Amino acid sequence: MDPGQFPSAEAYAEAVRRRKGQYLRRLREARGLSRLMLQRISRVTDETIRRIELGVANPSSDIVSTLCFALGVRVEDFTNAALSDDEPPPPPPPAISEGAALPIIIG
């Protein structure tokens, strides 16, 4: 994404948030995870995940790192794919094999 195509820094930041949120949702859905399942794996609240996916929340680098770890993707790959002017590549294969039990976090 070229910042020069946006009328202001705020417009650029909003577009970045939206693109990252859309890519997060693609990754989550490609793995067959609901937001609640991702919450349980990552310990990031469902509301935070929802707000990120909608592009209204600007997550900290810690939250992004945590979600990327839970989804089995490197932070730099997530960021590059989300912000690429090209169509983001398909998400990598799920880290959880079909039929495998998801880890249950009791907290």
Contact 60, 87 (CB under 8 A): no
- pLDDT on residue 98: 47
- Residue 82 CB neighbour total at 10 angstroms: 21
Angle, nearest 10°, between helix axes 35-42 and 61-71? Answer: 110
Q: Is 89 helix (H, G, I), strand (E, B) or coil?
A: coil
Residue 104: alpha-carbon gap to chain centroid:
21
Classified as helix, coil or strand, 100 is coil
Which pLDDT score is estimated for 13? 87
pLDDT at 94 (0 to 100) = 53
pLDDT score, position 86: 67
SS3 85: coil
pTM of the model: 0.76
Q: What residue ranges of the chain have pLDDT lower than 70?
A: 86-107
How do residues 51-75 score in pLDDT, each as one tens digit? 999 999 989 999 999 999 999 889 9
